[in-house]
Amino acid sequence: MLILGIDTSCDDTAAAVVENGVKIISNVVSSQTDIHKKYGGIVPELASRRHIEMILLVVDEALKGLGAGLEDVSAVAVCYGPGLIGSLLVGCSFAKALCFSKNIPLLAVNHLEGHMFSCFLEEPHPELPFISLIASGGHTSLYRVDGFGKYRELGRTRDDAAGEAYDKVSKLLGLGYPGGPIIDKLASEGNPKAIDFPRPYLPESFDFSFSGLKTAVLHFLKSEEKNSKLQTTNSKLAKDIAASFQACMVDVLIRKTEWAIKKEGIRRVTLSGGVSANSELRKRMKEMGDERETEIFIPSINLCTDNAAMIASAGYHHFLNKDFAGAGLNPKAYLPL
Ligand code: KG4
Ligand code: ZN
């Protein structure tokens, strides 16, 4: 069964075709980074306008190579939230029109469920139950997953998401957007022990809190003397700040995941969302898995950040459950899993 997935939740216009929820036939992502980077973050109005310009081209590209094109597709799965409302509206309206014109079923997928299912697009697949850590630009949450639709949130961020903290620290350092990949690279050349930033462990809770860590970087930079040393973004100090910030972030994400493994007694973990592209996090998570005899599943980099293959994969299960959406589907900026 072929499912066409569509995701326009943020600043990437994405479409993909996936067979039986696991095999990627095509996976097309049109990035808007060049449009937003000069503003140091996503401008929602520009994002939705660009989605309108790109959606037809991206969907066409994803369908290329299928014999009859859309006629081969059993259903269209669209991300209907959470995300930027104007951006979501473009994908949802487009998907509804496609389904109406071709008389094919529509499937409504939560973006976070999509990230969770990105781990099923490559071999080996995790068996149930598993612990799922989703760390992206908009969310950071830990779930216990007992089956499709059976998710129990163990904890979530009380303020900034992990990726948001990366983006804000990058901005504080005068670096570009998105900050995650930039800090990741810079950190690899710095000393992670150079600055002792706080590690917000929030004992007795699976919740996260990263805004204090970001503010600690801000206070550190306030000293004019230190600011002057930062003049070149490649300075030793900038590298040390990046490495020290990242060490805190990774320590917290790993420690919470370890607690979840212990408390739930589950030795399988999936890591997904844009921050799971982070080289240090991927390395440390695998090391932790080896130490704790726990299987760790992390998708390839292109499946960590936003894509529509993950939406089609989750959509497949909605199809099997006959959980179809109607023409009345409305996007939702806030949509808990
Ligand atoms: O999942 P995603 O593509 O979009 C959302 O659903 O938010 O995640 C984007 C986030 C951004 O904040 C970006 O800075 C972060 O993922 N990110 C990274 C890396 N690559 C992307 N963070 C840390 N290290 C990376 N290599
Ligand atoms: Zn995402």
pLDDT bucket at 67, cuts 50 / 70 / 90? confident
Ligand 1 centroid to Cα of residue 155, in Å, is: 19
Ligand 1 centroid to Cα of residue 72, in Å, is: 33
Mean pLDDT of 24-33: 96
* Site to substitute for ligand 1 among 136, 169, 214, 307, most atoms within 8 A of C-beta: 136
Give the closest ligand to the alpha carbon of residue 138.
1
Ligand 2 centroid to Cα of residue 77, in Å, is: 16
CB atoms within 10 A of CB 68: 8
Q: What is the pLDDT of residue 232?
A: 58
Ligand 1 centroid to Cα of residue 275, in Å, is: 4
* Site to substitute for ligand 1 among 10, 27, 118, 166, most atoms within 8 A of C-beta: 166
Q: What is the pLDDT of residue 40?
A: 86
Mean pLDDT of 271-277: 98
Q: Identify the residue whose C-alpha is closest to ligand 1 atom 16.
A: 274
CB-based contacts of 232-235 (< 8 A; 24+ apart in sequence) = 233/173, 233/174, 233/175, 233/186, 234/186
Q: What is the pLDDT of residue 69?
A: 85
Q: What is the pLDDT of residue 261?
A: 97
Q: What is the pLDDT of residue 57?
A: 98
Q: Are 314 and 112 in contact (CB under 8 A)?
A: no
Cis peptide before 82 (omega within 30 of 0): yes
The closest-lying atom of ligand 1 relative to the alpha carbon of residue 304 is: 1
Ligand 2 centroid to Cα of residue 143, in Å, is: 16
Ligand 1 centroid to Cα of residue 68, in Å, is: 35
Q: Which residues line ligand 1 (CB under 6 A)?
A: 10, 136-138, 163-164, 166-167, 178-181, 184, 273-275, 277-278, 305-306
User: pLDDT tens, 167-214?
Assistant: 999 999 999 899 999 999 999 999 999 999 999 999 889 999 999 999
Ligand 1 centroid to Cα of residue 307, in Å, is: 12
289 pLDDT higher than 80: yes
**What is the enclosing helix (H) or strand (E) of 135?**
strand 130-135
Q: Which two tokens stand for residue 25?
A: 């036939």
Collect all residues with Cβ–Cβ distance below 8 Å to 331 and sequence separation of at least 6.
Answer: 80, 81, 83, 85, 88, 89, 91, 92
Q: What residues flank ion ligand 2 with Cβ within 5 A?
A: 136, 306
pLDDT bucket at 229, cuts 50 / 70 / 90? low
User: How many whole angstroms separate alpha carbon 46 and alpha carbon 63?
Assistant: 26
231 pLDDT higher than 80: no
Q: Which two tokens stand for residue 329?
A: 């589907």
19 pLDDT higher than 90: yes
Beta bridge partners of 268: 295
User: pLDDT tens, 86-145?
Assistant: 999 999 999 999 999 999 999 999 999 999 999 999 999 999 999 999 999 999 999 999
- pLDDT above 70 as % of the chain: 97
Q: What is the pLDDT of residue 203?
A: 87
Q: Specify the amino acid at residue 28.
A: V
Question: Domains in the chain, ordered, with CATH?
Answer: 2-117+304-320 (3.30.420.40), 126-298 (3.30.420.40)
Residue (of 112, 191, 217, 124) closest to 156 by Cα position: 112
CB atoms within 10 A of CB 129: 16
Give the closest ligand to the alpha carbon of residue 180.
1
- Mean pLDDT rounded to a whole number for the chain: 95
**What is the enclosing helix (H) or strand (E) of 3?**
strand 2-7
pTM: 0.95
Mean pLDDT of 238-261: 97
Pinpoint the alpha helices (H) of the chain. Answer: 33-36, 44-63, 85-102, 111-117, 162-172, 179-187, 211-222, 224-229, 236-264, 279-291, 301-304, 309-320
Residue showing tokens 């607690």:
259
Q: What is the pLDDT of residue 158?
A: 97
- The alpha carbon of 178 is separated from its chain's Cα centroid by a whole number of angstroms, namely 13
- pLDDT above 90 as % of the chain: 90
Q: Are 314 and 145 in contact (CB under 8 A)?
A: no
